[in-house]
A and B are shown apart, each in its own frame.
Chain A
Amino acid sequence: MSVYWLCFYENKEDDRMTNDCFRLKGSVMTTFILEFSDFDSDMFKHQLKQKVDASPEFFQQSPVIIDFSKLDLQKIEIDYLDILSTCREHGLQPTAFHHHEHLDLNAIKNTNLAVIKPGSSKTEKKPTQRSLPHSSGTQAKIINKPVRSGQQIYAEGSDLIILGSVSGGAEVLADGNIHIYGSLRGRALAGVKGNNEARIFCTNNEAELVSINGHFLVSDALETQTWKQPAQFYLSNEALHVSTL
């Protein structure tokens, strides 16, 4: 299950614009959510032990978010600190509580954990969302002419489609995917706000630099594969890959 997560990132890429030693960026990460469907302190302790004993390695030091959204907190009395110590006993690392209307905020304060309000990805996944996870229904930005040296084009919150070439010294950026129906001779950066699933496509790869969510390759590395051929760029196992189209 995915949640949105704010984290401190080291500078992986050239941050020419700022001298900051860090940046704040949104990212999607996988974490456990401990979702209660019923609450009974003893039963919880017993069942959690069973789960963890089944595969202890798997749960070691895993961050976990505690979710009471299926419970009616007005009727059930919960000992937050007790839940946390049970989790920690079994090697889990509770990091936050899932938002709930009737959370006892005073009790939460004593735990020093955060309360987070994940996006819509939490409960039911609509099939349409699944098939178009990153275009998120927004209109792609379409550029009808070549992108010239020195120009910069950014598609905020959407895909970027360029009908023409991207010249050397030009830069195109998008939060989503980038499609170039022409030669890519400049720089293309996709998924700039932390989208690992973004891809870059071009009909002729002569790129200076390509980057997906901060993972980048420069032309020295690119010239060995798919050079002057139709190509796509994508992330897999935290590494940027190139393949012919």
Chain B
Amino acid sequence: MAKIIVVTSGKGGVGKTTTSAAIGTGLALKGNKTVIIDFDVGLRNLDLIMGCERRVVYDFVNVLNNEANLTQTLIKDKRVENLFVLPASQTRDKDALTLEGVEKVLNELSETFDFIICDSPAGIEKGAQMALYFADEAIVVTNPEVSSVRDSDRILGILQSKSKRAEQGSEPVKEHLLLTRYNPARVEEGEMLSVTDVEEILAIPLMGVIPESEAVLKASNQGEPVIHNQDADAGKAYSDAVDRLLGETVEFRFLTAPKKGILKRLIGA
């Protein structure tokens, strides 16, 4: 029985797809058979971040409409064993998704996979609700910025009221907070919300803090999930987050700005 994890945020552009790719890859690197599903029907992005856009033949909507089976549609990752991508359709919209159809696909994937990562579209409408409906756990991606925090709060409300677990009154969806684009120097300047501020407002357990990093943009453009770059702080921070998701206790890194040396201060770097 696979564990279904939705990566969601409410607000767009905070790093959901980057996170789905990194966390999915990280779980597979740890030996878990993992599939990442792109729920952003109409705005296909995950395949680009995963670097498999040239190998998309069939998509999620084809599977829902019985036009292709899962074996034909799933794209196997070239770098990591046990990692698969189920791409979204570029030519359809969110109305192509139905709860019955999504449930059928998830049930079929559940038989063979350990983890199913659902990469949610932005917003709180149908697409986002479809992505989170069947979730066992949720990774709420938030930037340290007031509008992102409020939208995350909103999506947490929806998780608690409109998910399958909420509707059936079973054990609630397990929530994880993942703070991305965190810049400790700007937090110290008071320009950015701190980890403590965000934790206080959202009141859910912190799963990871990903520092703002040029490596993330570079990784996206190259189609290689940033977790592969273990020289970058962002890559290391995602690895820590995966460990925490798997239940390990890992100390938080990259929460404070590196101290500037005298020379750097003098030249104003």
Residues of A within 8 A of B (CB): 145-146, 148-151, 164-165, 167-170, 183, 185
B124 CB to closest chain A CB (Å) equals 8
Q: Is B157's CB under 8 angstroms from A151's CB?
A: yes
Cβ A150 vs Cβ B157 within 8 A? yes
Closest CB in chain B relative to A44 CB, distance in Å: 63
Give the contacting residue for B203; candidates A165, A169, A170; CB below 8 A: A165
Task: Name the interface size band of chain B.
Answer: 10 to 19
A167-B150, A168-B150, A169-B150 known; A149 and B203 CB under 8 Å? no
User: Which residues on B are within 8 Å of A, measured CB to CB?
Assistant: 124, 150-151, 153-154, 156-158, 160-161, 200-201, 203
Cα(A164)–Cα(B202), bound, Å? 11
A110 to chain B, nearest CB (A): 58
> What is the distance, in angstroms, from A189's C-beta to the closest C-beta of chain B?
19
Are B154 and A150 neighbours in the complex by a CB distance under 8 Å? yes
Q: Taking CB as reference atom, which chain A residue is nearest B156?
A: A148
**A219 CB to nearest chain B CB (Å):** 14
A149 with B153: in contact, given A165-B203, A167-B201, A185-B201 (CB under 8 Å)? yes
- Closest 8 pairs (CB-CB, A-B): A148-B157, A149-B153, A149-B154, A150-B154, A167-B153, A151-B157, A148-B153, A148-B156
Smallest beta-carbon distance A146→chain B, Å: 5
For the complex formed, measure the closest distance between the CB of A187 and the CB atoms of chain B, giving whole angstroms: 14
Task: Tell whether A149 pairs with B150 under 8 Å between CB atoms, given A164-B203, A167-B201, A185-B201.
Answer: yes
Q: Known contacts A148-B153, A148-B156, A170-B157; can you find 7 more A-B pairs with CB under 8 A?
A: A150-B124, A150-B153, A150-B157, A151-B161, A167-B153, A168-B153, A169-B150
A169 to B150 alpha-carbon distance, docked (Å): 8
CB atoms of B203 and A146 under 8 A apart: yes
Bound CA–CA A52/B264 (angstroms): 89
A145 touches B153 (CB 8 A): no
A148 to B150, CA, bound (A): 9
Contact of A169 among B154, B158, B160 (CB under 8 A): B154
A123 to chain B, nearest CB (A): 46
Interface of A is mostly: loop
Please name all residues of chain A whose beta carbon is closer than 8 Å to the beta carbon of B151 when the two chains form the complex: 149
Bound form: Cα–Cα A130–B167 in Å = 42
A164-B203, A167-B201, A185-B201 given as contacts; is B160 within 8 A of A145 (CB)?
A: yes
Specify which chain A residues have a CB less than 8 angstroms from the CB of B161 in the assembled complex.
Answer: 151
Q: How far is the CA of A151 from the CA of B150 in the complex (A)?
A: 12
How far is B156's CA from A109's CA once the two chains are assembled, in angstroms? 60
Residues of B with C-beta under 8 A to A148: 153-154, 156-157, 160
Q: Which residues of A contact B200 (CB under 8 A)?
A: 183
CA distance A231 to B201 in the complex (A): 19
Min C-beta distance of A148 to chain B, whole Å = 3
Contacts of B157 in A (CB 8 A): 148-151, 170
> What A residues does B201 contact at CB under 8 A?
165, 167-168, 185
Q: Which residues of B are found within 8 Å of A165, using beta-carbon distances?
A: 201, 203
For B172, give the chain A residue with the smallest CB separation.
A145
Task: Give the residue name and chain of the B residue nearest to A150 (CB).
Answer: B154
Q: Which residues of A contact B150 (CB under 8 A)?
A: 149, 167-169
In the assembled complex, the Cα of A146 lies from the Cα of B172 at a distance in Å of 14
Q: What is the CB-to-nearest-CB distance from A233 to chain B, in angstroms, rounded to a whole number?
A: 22
Min distance, Cβ B198 to any Cβ of chain A, angstroms: 12
Of listed A146, A165, A183, A185, residue having the most chain B CB within 10 A: A146
Complex contacts, A146 vs chain B, CB 8 Å = 203
Q: How far is the CA of A148 from the CA of B151 in the complex (A)?
A: 10
> Contacts of A170 on B, CB cut-off 8 Å?
157
Interchain CA distance A183-B160 in the complex, whole Å = 20
B-side contacts of A150, CB under 8 Å: 124, 153-154, 157-158
A-side contacts of B203, CB under 8 Å:
146, 164-165
